[in-house]
């Protein structure tokens, strides 16, 4: 599993992220919307069927952005996910270093072939 995907998945289960999602959900409920997490609003099937944004869709998106800012969804989630990714990088540094060396070697061969035209 890729570091970015694993970090993302771990962050979605982290208590700090779950708390900020609940705070976001409460904020949305105060505005008349019932979503458990930010991704739920994005995946609402009503938005995929319309050819153009509806007034309800725009109002929902506006509330989503306002609630994300109010409870700091982006800041908290980014911080938590980044911490998981940094830890995964630290744990897998030998593997990542070897992959970089292999990529560098392939690039050197490609540059050599390009330079000689062969």
d(CA 75, CA 80): 9
| Alpha-carbon gap, residue 102 to 114, rounded angstroms | 18
What global pTM score does this model have?
0.79
Place of tokens 């970015």: 4
In terms of average pLDDT, the best of 20-24, 41-45, 46-50, 113-117 is 20-24
- Note the pLDDT tens digit of each residue in 72-82: 999 999 999 99
Contact 86, 70 (CB under 8 A): no
Higher pLDDT, 19 or 111: 19
37-56 pLDDT, tens digit each: 999 988 888 888 778 888 99
Non-local (6+) Cβ contacts of 9 within 8 A are: 1
Tokens of 3: 């570091």
pLDDT at 114: 85
Q: How far apart are the first and last CA of the chain?
A: 37
């Amino acid at each position: 599993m890729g570091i970015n995907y694993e970090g993302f998945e771990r962050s979605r289960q982290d208590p700090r992220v779950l708390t900020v999602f609940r705070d976001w959900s409460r904020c949305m409920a105060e505005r008349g919307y019932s979503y458990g997490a930010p991704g739920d609003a994005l995946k609402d099937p009503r938005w995929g069927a319309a050819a153009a944004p509806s007034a309800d869709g725009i109002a929902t998106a506006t509330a989503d952005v306002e609630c994300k800012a109010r409870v700091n969804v982006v800041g908290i989630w980014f911080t938590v996910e980044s911490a998981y990714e940094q830890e995964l990088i630290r744990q897998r540094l030998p593997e990542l270093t070897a992959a970089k060396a292999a990529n560098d070697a392939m690039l050197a061969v490609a540059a050599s072939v390009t330079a000689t035209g062969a």
